[in-house]
Structure 1
Amino acid sequence: MTGVWALLGALAVAGAIGVLLKVREGRISRRAASADLPAPVRDLLAPGVTLVQLSTTFCAPCRHAKVILRDLADRTDGLTHAELDVTNLPDVATKLGVMRTPTTLALTADGTEVLRVGGVPKRDSLIEALRPHLP
């Protein structure tokens, strides 16, 4: 009987973790501005707001995020999309405080972080959050 309770407990914990991760997916957050950006990120900045997508080679959700972000940038004036594969750049991910991919950073031309999204962004929420920073 003890084994059954242990199994039920493990399932409950796994379920709670799954729900927590699902709730956090695509959530927009704001962080304090970092002192300086790593060179690979700084090189991607364009006038207006740049959506810098941090991805890894074998990340399936990264492909979905890329489609959403590229389409959003193509349809919005003052918004640019750039992708950076951090598979071989762990120091860049560490310096930016990125714990998962995809992570999208919205950065102004001077490198100020406007917001960040962990996971696949939700198009409507993202454009609404970006609106005050766009021309």
Structure 2
Amino acid sequence: MTERIAPGDLDADAWGTRATLVQFSTEVCSRCPGTRRLLHRVADTRDGVTVLDVDVTHRPDLARRFTLRASPTVLVLDADGTPRSRFDGPPQPADVERELSLLDA
């Protein structure tokens, strides 16, 4: 999982200066709102970390490109847009924190 992603690929203006948490969700996902809140809580405690929510309901091209099998799927991108980890389904807060800490190491 080393393919660099450009912000425009996901209709974003820019990535976070340290990391970006990308949540792929769908309109009917019952677990997505809770995951979105969790990601924002984690990002709010770290400078330079942003959250991007991408609804793939009307973007099947993204679902194929990222081989989405679960909703939500969360990617942790470094500042350059390179995926460093992936969670298929809702992640645990400690797991997201750990992945962000690995970027700081």
TM-score by structure 2 length? 0.86
How well do the aligned residues superpose, as a CA RMSD in angstroms?
2.0
Distance 2:35 2:82 in 1: 22
Q: Equivalent residue for 1:73?
A: 43
Percent of matched pairs sharing the same residue: 32
Q: Give the one of 64, 83, 96 matched to 1:94.
A: 64
Counterpart residue type for residue 83 of structure 2 = E
Distance 2:51 2:12 in 1: 13
8 Å CA contact 1:78–1:134 kept in 2: the answer is no
Q: Higher helix proportion, which one?
A: 1
Offset, 1:44: 5.1
Q: Equivalent residue for 1:53?
A: 23
Structure 2 unaligned regions, length at least 5:
none
SS of 1:60's equivalent? coil
**Structure 2 vs 1, CA of residues 49 and 60 (structure 1 numbering), >3 Å: closer, same or farther?**
same
**Structure 2 vs 1, CA of residues 69 and 84 (structure 1 numbering), >3 Å: closer, same or farther?**
same
Structure 1 unaligned regions, length at least 5:
1-31
Counterpart residue type for residue 78 of structure 1 = G
Q: Give the one of 42, 55, 59 matched to 1:85.
A: 55
8 Å CA contact 2:22–2:77 kept in 1: the answer is yes
Q: Equivalent residue for 1:34?
A: 3
SS of 2:31's equivalent? helix
Offset, 1:99: 1.4
Larger radius of gyration: 1
TM-score by structure 1 length? 0.69
